[in-house]
Amino acid sequence: MSCFGLFKRKPRSSEGSPGSVRRGGSAPPSGPATTTGSGSAVSTSLSDDSGAVRPVSKSGGSSQSQHSISSLYEERGHGQLRAFQYEELQAATADFGRAQKLGEGGFGSVYKGFIRAADPRGDRVAVAVKRLNQRSLQGHKQWLAEVQFLGVLDHPNLVKLLGYCADDSERGAQRLLVYEYMPNKSLEDHLFGRANPPLSWNKRLQIILGAAEGLAYLHEGVEIQVIYRDFKTSNILLDKDFRARLSDFGLAREGPTGTNTHVSTAVVGTHGYAAPEYVDTGHLTSKSDVWSFGVVLYEILTGRRSLDRNKPAAEQKLLEWVAQFPPDSRSFRVIMDPKLRGEYSVKAAREIAKLANRCLLKNAKERPTMTEVVEVLRQAVQAHAEPARGDINRNGSGKGKKANAVTTPSRR
């Protein structure tokens, strides 16, 4: 699913111009954080439109520090990242060959490749190389935001950025990002794709808990608050152990600071996931991410996409459809993904649906924080491992498989 808004609505006047790229190797005003593959230098200062969005509203309070992502990146970010030559990445991906292509998103294509580890005697390591669309003004902004955020952020549930490449030559402006390769692709591939076996209930819970922990870290675990803005199943990558890793920080923004309650920005994100108040007003808070999280919770339960034009009219919009089957109703199980074949804990599923409903409250302030969400999910996962008596399979023998054995059709 591609991004929207960015291509449809112009940035508001409160937003400035994109971070600049200088040609010819002269040092940019904010300090030379990177040198490029072909001799140009890249400014790392983010303009209002590409990360350090200026807050405009002053009501309520927030105690975020006065750090900015640019200053944090200058302090400690860029030392962590490797600057690649364009030719290195070209060779690593068989010249961005079709056979190497892992996927394509709104901002570019992603290729599998192999690079030598920084240690010259090290083995070759698998990487994913994202080449941002050329001639796109947005391309550079996404690239810069991603380099700065992922250069600073560090958490087991975020994808690791290994390095980048900015190359301005006769080839045109090339912007690339090099990530750790995630062998199990994205949650989207497993939840909706037919190429992979269905995801078990246990795996779904582990993945969504990990994704929640990643978001909680962004909102509450860093000196600055980070609003992710593009939480969706294709951006939840899965490592070799099926641990969730949030990817794509090109749309991430710094949260409000001081007494500001929100940042004001152009509306970007993906149809079906963005919070209604954000779409209506452009006012962005961490609770916009919480809404998107609620949408993904329902996708995990149902195995359906938030928007699916191939379904009958009444079922195309997931949130409208599930609203007919509330968590405490007898009909609740109608919504559950048939690919689970009844092998899930109904009790945990109801709790998760209730949590999703809280994340999807119209009044953003009433939505839980991601830290609260993590807590509720942890409890659901634990309850799932130690199911209550009522959650035993009643489908026959009465010997009742436990819900943690994830075989609980319990068709009452």
Ligand X SMILES: Nc1ncnc2c1ncn2[C@@H]1O[C@H](COP(=O)(O)OP(=O)(O)OP(=O)(O)O)[C@@H](O)[C@H]1O
- Nearer to Mg ion by Cβ, of 129 and 349: the residue is 129
Tell whether residue 235 is a contact of ligand X (CB under 6 A): yes
Considering only residues 48, 49, 213, 248, which one is a binding residue for ligand X as defined by CB under 6 A?
248
Torsion of CA 248, 165, 80, 76, to 10 degrees: -80
Determine whether the annotation assigns residue 10 to a binding site. no
For 125, phi then psi, to 5°, come to: -120, 145
State how far the Cα of 357 lies from the Cα of 362, in Å rounded to an integer: 10
Q: At what angle do helices 370-385 and 286-302 cross, to 10 degrees?
A: 30
3 makes contact with ligand X (CB under 6 A): yes
Q: Is 179 in the site for ligand X (CB under 6 A)?
A: yes
Q: How far is the CB of 299 from ligand X (least distance, A)?
A: 14
Restricting to residues 219-278, name those near Mg ion by CB under 5 A. Answer: 235, 248
Question: Of 230, 239, 289, 337, which is the active-site residue?
Answer: 230
C-alpha to C-alpha distance for 186 and 197, rounded to whole angstroms: 13
Binding positions for ligand X, 182-201, rule CB under 6 A? 182, 185-186
Q: 264: which 2 tokens?
A: 């004001």
Closer residue to ligand X, CB minimum distance, 64 or 80: 80
Verify binding: residue 252, ligand X, rule CB under 6 A: no
3-state secondary structure of 111: strand
| CB neighbour class for 201 (10 Å; exposed up to 12, middle 13-18, buried from 19) | buried
The residue type found at 24 is: G
Helices (H) and strands (E) in the chain, counts: 10, 17
> Which residue sits closest to ligand X, CB atoms considered?
105
The residue among 189 and 343 lying less far from ligand X, judged by its C-beta, is 189
Stretch that binds ligand X, among 56-64, 234-242, 285-293, 361-369 (CB under 6 A): 234-242
Candidates 86-94, 99-107, 217-225, 384-392; binding stretch for Mg ion (CB under 5 A): 99-107
Q: Does 260 bind ligand X (CB under 6 A)?
A: no
163: enclosing H helix or E strand: strand 161-169
CB nearer to ligand X: give 137 or 314.
Answer: 137
Residues 63 to 122 in contact with ligand X, rule: CB under 6 A:
102-108, 110
**Which residue, among 408, 335, 403, 348, has the nearest Cα to 381 in the 3D structure?**
348
Give me the least distance between CB of 246 and Mg ion, in Å please. 10
Contacts of 67 (CB under 8 A, 6+ apart): 223, 224
End-to-end CA distance of the chain: 37
Question: Does the footprint of ligand X cover residue 212 (CB under 6 A)?
Answer: no
Q: How many residues does the chain have?
A: 412
Cα atoms in the Cβ-side hemisphere of radius 13 Å centred on 335: 30
Concerning whether 230 is annotated as a catalytic residue, the answer is yes
Q: Please list every residue from 128 through 147 that binds ligand X, using CB under 6 A.
A: 128, 130
Q: Which is nearer to Mg ion, 68 or 270 (CB)?
A: 270
Closest CA to 38 of 128, 126, 170, 218: 170
Tell me the C-alpha distance between 294 and 25, whole Å: 46
Binding partner of residue 18 among ligand X, Mg ion, none, CB under 5 to 8 Å per kind? none
> Binder to Mg ion among 55, 105, 272, 400 (CB under 5 A)?
105
> Of 249 and 344, which CB lies nearer to Mg ion in the complex structure?
249
Rounded to a whole number of angstroms, the CA Rg of the chain reads 22
Q: Site residues (CB under 6 A) for ligand X?
A: 2-3, 102-108, 110, 128, 130, 159, 179, 181-182, 185-186, 230, 234-235, 237, 247-248, 270
* Binding site residue list: 130
Residue positions annotated with a catalytic role: 230
* Binding site residue list for ATP: 130
